[in-house]
Structure 1
Amino acid sequence: MHKRFLGAFWFLLIVLSIHAQSPREKGLKSITQHSAEAIVGFLADDELEGREAGQHGSRLAARYIVSRLKEIGIAPLDSLGYYQPFEGYRKERQQKGRWEVDPDSIVTIKKGTHRCLSMANVLGVVPGKRQNEFVVVGAHFDHLGTDPALVNDQIYNGADDNASGVSAVLQIAKACMETGKQPLRTVIFAFWDGEEIGLLGSKYFTQTFPSIERIKGYLNFDMIGRNTDNARPEHVVYFYTASHPVFGEWLKEDIRQYGFRLQPDYRSWDKPVGGSDNASFARFEVPIIWYHTDGHPDYHQPSDHADKLNFEKLTYITKAAFLNAWNLANETDY
């Protein structure tokens, strides 16, 4: 009887401790290195052919992302489904020009010999109590495809750029569901197509979203899995909009509280309109946070493989960023 009583007592303590976890802690617990390795491993596999925008590998990546969102329980943003199709246009390839999604630019391009590329963002949503206020958490999933003229390795796998970022967004989406709590603001989880050819997916989203002024923050991930200097394995660059210094304070406090093994380079930015998809939001005055682990010799090379990533750091960044997303979605004033 005594042993049975002790067993029941410890079981009760375990149950109570689980229920005593805060929503934030429940979300944090769901983020694992194992999941990061699985997601990056799939997206950076040779079978996806470098995920070039508008090509077969990119479409496979998009379908994989949708399947993960469905598994997590994230609903599509649009009633028609998870995909946000769009087209990019460019002059005939012998002429100078770039891919465009801006309607006025497209009208001009169509007057001459031109190219058209069909792409699609993937968008999921967790409705908030305030359904007219939004937070966007995003990363691009496309990369550079293949080059059949290359000797030996012909596939630009893009493990760091940007399978690493996609893994973070998917895990944060799952963590938000694991909290068991509805956020104050509606959270959109966005996976951009066409970033490598001009930030096309995020540009299309921001120029067509009907309430861009109601987006209260954008959290971006682009290349968050490598060590630029192996002597500094905890290094991460933390860009944020300078007019919101609390973004820097959030990360400092969370590292102190949870012991994340990160050494951030805090970089406030008056107008963060360069570098990645954050630019598409910053030009509409949306406050941004962007995680990045700096460049490396395998950037935009076929050698950007999954086995070169620091998955421990990637996992710590994802955990810290989940808390950013939690604050963006729930803090009443920032």
Structure 2
Amino acid sequence: MSSRRNFLKMLLGLSALSLPWTLWPGKINQTFQSWVKRPSVKLITPMSELPQGVTDEEMLYHSAMEDITALSAPEMQGRQAGTVGENKASSYLSKQMSSLGLIPMGDQGKNFTQVFTIPPVSKNVVNGRLTFIPGTLGSLRTPSVNLLGAIKGKVQDQVILVSAHYDHLGVYQGKIYPGANDNASGVSCVLEVIRRLLRDGKPARKTVVFAFWSAEEMGFIGSKAFVQSPTFPLGQIQAMLNIDTVGNGPVGDFGLWSVNEDNIAYQAVRAAAIQAGASAGRTPFGGHNSDQASFAQTGIPAVTLMAGDWLNKNHTPEDTIDLIEPEQLELASDIVYRAVQLLAFK
């Protein structure tokens, strides 16, 4: 009897030990699915009617400051390309794009994402700014994603591209680099332009594609990846408008990066700034650049809009939402909106 009791105790003990391991794979699978899950996409032309399930109180009237708050939050971990923080940021943006009813323009046109890979990097502080340094060539590369969606126009093979990079610098020496201005501000402007166009409800003449690049901070890797393997023909792009670090400094003071002033992208943004009562002229690069460079190298008219004081606290842990001037951010969105009107609606 005693031996039987001991045998039963042993069986119960083994059962208790084996139960967690039986359930563990299911938990892993659930966690994995939550990481890779993308919102469902409704394939519609959003200019004709509001996306089903979207209300005024939800996505259409979501504010740019709410976007910056979300993207610069501690749980985003600085949005470094190839990290969990980037994955969280891309999930946030995918949800916004899906809820607003954009047409997927990523790989094979089936979703918003364009997958590419990035090389290993290290970090160093140069002149008070944290920067990436290329790692060993040939080492294992890490996946990253661009996000692309469109509002289809009457002429679908003529495209105005509006973009901003959503990645930043991640964590360095235990400190999060939030990147509220660089470049959650630019991302929020693009989203605000999308929402405003949808609220207008007017059909565009040309197709407007909205892109969120990753790995800009590592040398424009995301936008270069698109140019090298575009998800739609590069020849369709009539102009490229890029927005980078626009939320700080004196209200109405902006700069423009462009290889020259003789292109329709630069001219449209400059004209839009004048219409909006702002100042925006061609600014020397000073050893800096942004994603418009990837397109300018192919001959596509391209320009980047930025705040005149964009370098203030740039690439530091102090680039928080406290740096953002709401009026400056609203003005930047208005300039981009007006430029899109000039290029895609006339």
Scaled by the length of structure 2, what TM-score is found?
0.72
1:14-71, Cα deviation, whole Å (9 max, x unpaired)? xxxxxxxxx9xxxxxx999971110101101111100010101111111111111122
Structure 1 stretch displaced more, 158-167 or 243-252: 243-252
* Superposed displacement of residue 181, structure 1: 2.3
Q: 1:85 to 1:280 in 2, by over 3 A?
A: same
Match of 1:18 in 2: none
Judge conservation of contact 2:269–2:335 (CA < 8 Å) in 1.
no
**1:37-48 matches, cutoff 5 A:** 37-48=65-76
**1:1-334 matches, cutoff 5 A:** 35-78=63-106, 79-89=109-119, 98=134, 109-110=137-138, 114-147=139-172, 149-150=173-174, 154-209=175-230, 210-227=232-249, 232-240=250-258, 241-244=260-263, 247-248=266-267, 251-252=270-271, 255-256=274-275, 260-264=276-280, 266-267=281-282, 275-293=289-307, 294-331=309-346
1:295, 1:263 → 2: CA distance? 14
Q: 1:291 to 1:250 in 2, by over 3 A?
A: closer
Instruction: Give the letter aligned to residue 215 of structure 1.
Output: I
Judge conservation of contact 1:48–1:61 (CA < 8 Å) in 2.
yes
Instruction: Give the letter aligned to residue 86 of structure 1.
Output: F
Instruction: Give the letter aligned to residue 59 of structure 1.
Output: N
2:62, 2:327 → 1: CA distance? 10
* Superposed displacement of residue 207, structure 1: 1.2
RMSD of aligned residue pairs (Cα, Å): 3.1
Identity across the alignment (%): 29
Q: 1:81 to 1:175 in 2, by over 3 A?
A: same
Judge conservation of contact 1:172–1:322 (CA < 8 Å) in 2.
yes
Q: 1:35 to 1:296 in 2, by over 3 A?
A: same
1:245, 1:185 → 2: CA distance? 15
1:119, 1:296 → 2: CA distance? 26
Larger Rg: 2
Q: 1:296 to 1:92 in 2, by over 3 A?
A: closer
Judge conservation of contact 1:69–1:124 (CA < 8 Å) in 2.
yes
Q: 1:169 to 1:99 in 2, by over 3 A?
A: farther
Instruction: Give the letter aligned to residue 211 of structure 1.
Output: P
Q: Which has the higher contact order (CA 8 A, sep 6+)?
A: 1
Unaligned runs of 5+ in 2: 1-46, 48-56, 124-132
1:89, 1:277 → 2: CA distance? 18
* Superposed displacement of residue 319, structure 1: 0.8
Instruction: Give the letter aligned to residue 179 of structure 1.
Output: D
2:327, 2:247 → 1: CA distance? 9
Judge conservation of contact 1:272–1:278 (CA < 8 Å) in 2.
no
Judge conservation of contact 2:240–2:265 (CA < 8 Å) in 1.
no
1:250, 1:90 → 2: CA distance? 36
Judge conservation of contact 1:123–1:189 (CA < 8 Å) in 2.
yes
1:251, 1:141 → 2: CA distance? 24
* Superposed displacement of residue 254, structure 1: 6.1
Judge conservation of contact 1:73–1:177 (CA < 8 Å) in 2.
no
* Superposed displacement of residue 297, structure 1: 3.7
* Superposed displacement of residue 221, structure 1: 0.6
1:197, 1:142 → 2: CA distance? 9
Report how many aligned residue pairs link the two structures. 277
1:87-116, Cα deviation, whole Å (9 max, x unpaired)? 1235999xxx8379xxxxxxxx54xxx131
